[in-house]
Amino acid sequence: MRYFFLIYALAIVFVISTFGFRGDKFKKPPIRIFPDMDEMDFVKGQKPSEFFKDGMGARKPVAGTVPMGHTVEADVHSELRGYGNKETYLHTGRFNETNFGKGFPTELELDKPENVTALLTRGHEVFGFKCAICHGDSGNGEGTVKANGFVPVISNLRTSTLVEGNIYEVVVNGRGNMGQMGSDLTLYDRWAVVAYVKALQASAKADYNNPKIKEIFDAGSKK
């Protein structure tokens, strides 16, 4: 029996000397017999990974999945207020895996003037709080971020030659120093930004010497 107590005492000393008392602080990482989920492997955003076949660490959602808190919308109008994940042009900006589309999805019903006005109005709002800080109010790339030296070069959207579908893809997934905004913007807001960027490009080419254009421009600048 005495050997049992001796071994028991030595075991206690060993455990305390190895793991310390509860609340003690050590410079080295703790020894975890069962690490559970305290330490997990993860991939940093937009970093490559050899684990996946395409070499990309960031993964796209599985086709057909729905974000938590959202449901599959019953009609197009309610769908535009969601963050859908289908393979249509409305959702991807692509007609296939390699080609971006030119023009806007038919679901937006831009054949009606009131829908065009509403889309551009919303695009102006979203651009103001999501894009202008980097790209500037006019889209010339001279926003607050560049003025303060955080990013030396920012794209001039007014001279961009990207088609509508490509702009949509950049808005959703980001590019270069620009992060993705797809998780923040609904389908409608994404296309609203695209529409407003195209409007900025059109305004850059407008002939201000044309009396009608000057009248419209002056009326808009006073609002």
Residue 130 is predicted with a pLDDT of: 92
CATH class of the domain comprising 76-221: mainly alpha
**Percent of the chain clearing pLDDT 70 (strictly above):** 82
Residue 1 is predicted with a pLDDT of: 63
DSSP string for residues in 32-61: -SS-TTSS-----TT-B-TTSTT-BSS-PP
pLDDT band of 46, cuts 50, 70, 90? confident
Residue 192 is predicted with a pLDDT of: 96
Predicted TM-score (pTM) of the model is 0.65
Residue 149 is predicted with a pLDDT of: 80
- The tally of CA atoms less than 13 A away on the side-chain side of residue 161 is 0
pLDDT by residue (tens digit) across 117-152?
999 999 999 999 999 999 999 899 988 888 888 888
State the chain's mean pLDDT as an integer: 82
Residue 70 is predicted with a pLDDT of: 65
pLDDT band of 20, cuts 50, 70, 90? low
Q: Is the pLDDT of residue 173 over 60?
A: yes
In 3D space, the residue among 110, 108, 113, 117 whose CA is nearest the CA of residue 77 turns out to be 108
Residue 21 is predicted with a pLDDT of: 60
Q: Is the pLDDT of residue 61 over 90?
A: no
Q: Is the pLDDT of residue 109 over 70?
A: yes
Q: Show me where the domains of the chain are located.
A: 76-221
pLDDT by residue (tens digit) across 62-104?
777 776 766 665 666 778 888 877 888 999 999 888 889 999 9
52: Cβ contacts below 8 Å, ≥ 6 apart? 59
Mean pLDDT on 186-201: 94
Q: Is the pLDDT of residue 25 over 80?
A: no
Mean pLDDT on 171-175: 91
Residue 188 is predicted with a pLDDT of: 94
75: Cβ contacts below 8 Å, ≥ 6 apart? none
